[in-house]
Amino acid sequence: MVTGEDASDLVKDAARSAQRSPLLRRVARVGFVVLGVLHILIGATAISIALGSSASSADEGGAMEQIRRSAIGGLVLVIVAVSLVALAGWWIADAFLAGASDGMRRWGRRIKNLGIAAVYLVLAGMAVVYAAGGRADPSQNTQALGSLVLSAPGGEILLVAIGLGIVVVGGGFVVSAITRSFARELRVPTGTRRAGIEVFGVIGYLAKGIAVAVTGILFVTAAVTEDPHKAAGLDAALRGILALPWGRLLLCAVGAGLVAYGLYCIARSGYERM
């Protein structure tokens, strides 16, 4: 009879075997490059919107649409999907191997890693949809989620909680930028190269945090106004920056920051502790 402890050991053994797989690690590192390219495209689109010359969506869907328009876009999107699935698999394995001595910290790390993996799997699914000639609009999906939540009993409170949770995630990116805690996951020799990567990381994490936090604020606004259409995604969040004082300049800065985050992700592919 297999006990709970035996099952846990089996899961950990499987996770350990997955993490030690050279193939998984190589493909997962390509996933970081993919994330980098997506953020560079999103950042460039945000800058174009700030300059008043872009009709593309400044989100993952818009980035994948741009990739699909290229000569070998379908093949590239398949590579995107496979690499993101591998990267998600690596984070899932890492979640089950979380070794923090404190139980709360261990479970906190597991929840964080599984959340990251879930995001990558969603992006991989989007890539498959675009590779097959379809389209997945993140803004429409987000609005549909907002409508579903608002229609449930206590939906306004739940939507506020979701929005505040997203704001907290955005704040986490900002804190990582300020403390440079992201650098702990990298094996980069000291010197000019490490300093350059950290600069891209600080700027990128700050911009990513702002974009994510604004997205969370839109969820809270949707709950307060009971209008699910305001629970939009990244594209709406970035476009919303235009309404602020010096909005175009701010959006250009955030867009440039997202490009920096993309460059950091590409550098991360070679130096991540895996």
**pLDDT tens-digit series, residues 213-253:** 988 898 888 888 888 777 777 888 888 888 888 889 999 99
The single-letter code of the amino acid at 235 is D
Per the CB < 8 A criterion, the answer to whether 83 and 30 are in contact is yes
Looking at residue 86, its pLDDT comes to 92
The tens digit of pLDDT for each residue in 127-171 reads 999 998 888 777 777 877 778 888 888 888 898 898 899 999 999
**How far is 232 from 236, CA to CA, in rounded Å?**
6
- 95 three-class SS: helix
Q: Are 146 and 139 contacting, i.e. CB atoms less than 8 angstroms apart?
A: no
* Confidence label for 55 from pLDDT (cuts 50, 70 and 90): low
User: Tokens in use for 178?
Assistant: 């300020």
Between CA 25 and CA 93 the distance in angstroms is: 11
Higher per-residue confidence, 2 vs 269 = 269
